[in-house]
Amino acid sequence: MKLISWNVRRKSVANVDFVSLLAMKPDIIAFQELRPAYKSKLSDNIVESLSEYLQIWNNIGYGMAVFTRLRGFKMMSIDFNGRTMTFEFDDFLFVNLEGPLLFSFGSEDYITWFKAFRRFLIKLSQIKPVIVGGTFNIMSNNPDIPPEDAMVMKNILNINFVDTFNELHPDVEEAYTYRTVKNGFDRRTDYFFVSDNLKDKIKSATIEEDPLGSNHRPITLDIEI
């Protein structure tokens, strides 16, 4: 099973390079900061290509959407003021996430938010194995990581969750998923985490080139479920 997560940075559906995304044959595409578009604005070939995908939108304000060609699932909830979408599939739970920004939340509220999210993941993992993907906005792979981010990352990993990219590429120190051209700010802020009991099922975890210029790069997870 292949999953893609991509923060398209407020792009419209009509401006997403679905040709490149669908060429990877994903079973689930988790979007953050995606704006809807009328079907009349989509080319016929895109409409046809997407016809096998169910589109589930969260319109609260973070542009969250999940496109999936898997069937037999139920949507469990939208939580954290619209920052998460949770789905129950036969053998796993999937969470699409748009995490808060440290500089906009402030240190105390940021840590409090992620403590609540940590409790949420613990609760979910008691039901089924969990895959969570999206823009966590936790910076990593940099010596100047804020202490708050280091704490949040540690707290997620110590509840038996695995950073899939780091699991397969432990020696890659300069990988990034987020870049600002203006100041050359490169960080890995987008992740797929899985429950530890799925660790041995990970086949690949990649950071893709950006098809259309979002300052977030798509990430993928191929896992045997």
Q: Averaged over 131-141, what is the pLDDT?
A: 91
Q: Averaged over 196-221, what is the pLDDT?
A: 89
Look at residue 213 and tell me whether its pLDDT is greater than 80.
Answer: no
Q: How far apart are the first and last CA of the chain?
A: 7
Q: Is 218 left (phi over 0), alpha (psi -120 to 50) or beta?
A: beta
pTM given for the model? 0.93
pLDDT digits (tens, 9 = 90+) for 74-98: 989 999 999 999 999 999 999 999 9
Most trustworthy range by pLDDT among 18-27, 41-50, 145-154, 194-203: 194-203
Q: How confident is the model at residue 140 (pLDDT cuts 50, 70, 90)?
A: confident
Greater confidence (136 vs 103) lies with 136
Structural domains in the chain plus CATH codes: 2-223 (3.60.10.10)
The Cβ-side half-sphere exposure at 132, using a 13 Å CA radius, reads 27
Q: Under a CB-based contact definition with an 8 Å cutoff, are residues 165 and 175 in contact?
A: yes
Q: Which residues contact 83 (CB under 8 A, 6 or more apart)?
A: 62, 64, 97, 98, 99, 100
Q: How confident is the model at residue 56 (pLDDT cuts 50, 70, 90)?
A: very high
Q: Under a CB-based contact definition with an 8 Å cutoff, are residues 81 and 60 in contact?
A: yes
Distance CA 37, CA 42 (A): 8
Greater confidence (47 vs 64) lies with 64
Q: Averaged over 2-18, what is the pLDDT?
A: 87
- Quote the pLDDT of residue 209: 81
Q: 36 — phi, psi (to 5°)?
A: -70, 165
Closest CA to 166 of 157, 158, 32: 157
pLDDT digits (tens, 9 = 90+) for 142-192: 667 889 999 999 999 999 999 999 999 988 877 889 887 665 668 899 999
